With several copies, the nearest count.
Chain A
Amino acid sequence: MLDKNGIAQRIAQELQDGYYVNLGIGIPTLVANYIPENINVEFQSENGVLGMGPFPFEGDENADLINAGKQTITTMPGAVFFDSATSFAMIRGQHVQLTVLGAMEVSQNGDIANWKIPGKMVKGMGGAMDLVASAENIIVAMMHTNKAGESKLLADCTLPLTGVGCVKKVVTNLATLDIKDGAFHLLERAPGVSVEEIVQATAGKLIVPPHVPEMQL
């Protein structure tokens, strides 16, 4: 079974040379720690920066330089700042090649719910709806089940949707899955996880091929 870092590590394998990537808050942020050697990728933060670097050294924080998670950051050579309209022009115009997001629920037809729980405090969707509606290539990073042990991979989402039919791949603590033709397709098992465990933890329609390899991390 993977922990959060393992999920991030597996998703990092999806990075390709020349990708511009938008990482959501939470597990997705950790993907930046596992960029494969010998490829160049750039991280876009929707508050208006391309070419983010690591966190600043203590004392070097700049209140005017943050990421979408409102964390202080630095920039790399070749970075650029822009306004929010231009930022979402990049996203909506499909200039960002990969978006990695967390989710509360994903359905077998690629719907995603990750912004609102009725009856609880609603914080808002931020840029998530723009990202999921426009990105060609969305990977959801999440735990396979919620804290109550219920599957987050469902036939239909029960929570208010963030986007419809947009998720193509999910990486969880248990598995890597593709979404197509109205079903989850099991691609890989997390280390030490059996197909049976994944079947048990998946409420939506799951296609299991005869052989399911274990992830190589």
Chain B
Amino acid sequence: MAIKKVVANVEEACRGIESSMTLMLGGFGLCGIPENCISQLVKLGVNDLTCISNNAGVDDFGLGLLLQGRQIRKMISSYVGENDEFERQMLSGELEVDLIPQGSLAERCRAGGAGIPAFFTPAGYGTEVGEGKEVRMFDGKPHILESALTADFAIVKAWKGDEAGNLIYRATARNFNPMMAMAGKITIAEVEELVPLGELDPNEIHTPGIFVQRIFQGNSYEKRIEQRTVRPRN
């Protein structure tokens, strides 16, 4: 029988998350973020967190909620600052920020999950991202050595998941979630729809359950849209 990963609720899912830990959180902007777990982190009041996440949310949603409570000590991201509180904390030195090229961030998370401790990439060579990093030429082109990222907890959001922790994401809400799911010592998945074993086609799963330690059905998803761009009907 499959190994079951279901926990009852977000409280149980987040058990063991403590101050000073390193967390990975999936999502791109506000798309595909683990809303339920972020709310629970606010409730738990853990602080001094290092958060690895492509972005940092907005003032009143996503990781912005943790920033409001000054729960984050360090952000490791590719693009931040869609919110004022972030800017204030960063400029005042309260918040440490490590900016990483987006592709290197994605690959470093994957590497962390895949047991690849380091790899060479051209991204960032000759810039401040490359400072202090080993440079090597391949095919006449300079590359820098980047190292793997892992986390005490990886927290991801999927569309559907089954009891074995197998996950399917929807559209571009996939983004960083699959790599982060691989890179957590403990990976928590919150899903919009939790289904019994055998309901997902084994051929259509994006994240195999082996990477997931806890799964629960989230609720009250707001799924806020950051830039609502539309064209008029006519």
Contact = CB atoms under 8 A, between A and B. Distances in A.
Interface string B56-79: 000000000000000000000111
B118 interface: no
Contacts, number: 264
Interface in A66-89: 66-73, 75-89
Interface residues of B, number: 83
Interface in B30-75: 30-32, 54
B103 interface: yes
Interface string B192-234: 0000111000110110111100000000000111111111110
Mostly, the A contact residues are: loop
Contacts of B93: none
Interface stretch (A6-14, A36-44, A188-196): A36-44
Interface string B99-117: 1011111110110111110
Nearest to A57: B233
A85 B106 contact: yes
B2 A77 contact: yes
Mostly, the B contact residues are: loop
Given A78-B164, A84-B175, A72 B227 contact: yes
A70 B30 contact: yes
Interface residues on A, range: 35 or more
Nearest to A89: B114
A89 B182 contact: yes
B171 interface: yes
Interface stretch (A93-101, A145-153, A171-179, A208-216): A93-101
